[in-house]
Amino acid sequence: MERLVVGAKRLGFDLSPGQLESFQVYYEELVQWNKRVNLTAITDYERVQTSHFLDSLTVALFLDDLPTPVLDVGTGAGFPGIPAKILLPRIRLSLVEATAKKAAFLNHLVDRLGLEGVEVVTARAEELAHDARYRETFDVVLSRGVARLDTLAELALPFCMCGGAFVAQKKGKVDAEVDAASAVIGILGGRLREVRRIAVEELDEERALVVIDKCTGTPQAYPRRAGIPQKRPIRARR
Ligand code: SAH
């Protein structure tokens, strides 16, 4: 886990031997399950350390090790939620994933790593966000690699409580995407706080964290029904 150790240091995180052991087990389970369930195209030992684990840890720049409710939308094989949980064991993490087979992997992994305070929810964000137990109840919502920011804002912001924040992980150039989403973010009750660029040598491409504050309640009409946020992103007058 040498690449991860070095990269994490650059972000300001010192990983304990116990945490490194967890990442090692995570790697082994990921590669093992990937033979049966399509979890990731990246299985190389070095690349998993950087493109999955280290990349996921960048969200911890916006988290504290406190028992606050955190949700990861479209978590897939657990990114960025699980690495964040390994680093910050006190967070209360909910993982939302639409594909049952991926959710089965997540349940297995949580058990295998002995993580406490992690809930795996097999659901579509469009439906779960209308469930009162989930709507506007999270301090921080995370997401990586799920959709373009205008679509993603509709899937994620309804989960954020007012005063909370949505942290979207993006690769490469983000300015145009952020610009295109800005009016939509407002409609959903959010306000752009910052675009934090992450330049870590171990990561191939430039990364950015788009941080959106939740300022007012999301109108009940959102998110629209499953598939619509992707198919027809909200069109806003600007
Ligand atoms: N966040 C992970 C996975 C990205 S792939 C990573 O960065 O590696 C996108 C994942 O989001 C897939 O596993 C897909 O099943 C899930 N997903 C896509 N749309 C979703 C939705 N509307 N609700 C819940 N999960 C969704």
For residue range 35-93, list pLDDT tens digits in order: 999 999 999 999 999 999 999 999 999 999 999 999 999 999 999 999 999 999 999 99
Give the Cα separation of 200 and 204 in Å (integer).
8
Q: What is the CA radius of gyration of the chain?
A: 17
Integer angstrom CA distances of residue 93 from 1, 60, 124, 156: 24, 13, 17, 15
* pLDDT above 80: residue 236: no
Ligand 1: centre distance to CA 146 (Å): 5
Check pocket membership of 96 for ligand 1, CB cut-off 6 A. yes
Give the Cα separation of 139 and 77 in Å (integer).
22
Ligand 1: centre distance to CA 95 (Å): 10
Instruction: Assess contact for 209 and 169: CB atoms under 8 A.
Output: yes
- Can you tell me which atom of ligand 1 is nearest the CA of 124? 23
pTM for this predicted structure: 0.97
Check pocket membership of 102 for ligand 1, CB cut-off 6 A. yes
Max CA distance (Å), the chain: 52
* pLDDT above 70: residue 195: yes
- pLDDT of 237 reads 65
Ligand 1: centre distance to CA 235 (Å): 23
Ligand 1: centre distance to CA 17 (Å): 30
Check pocket membership of 30 for ligand 1, CB cut-off 6 A. no
Check pocket membership of 76 for ligand 1, CB cut-off 6 A. yes
Confidence grade of residue 199 (pLDDT, cut at 50, 70, 90): confident
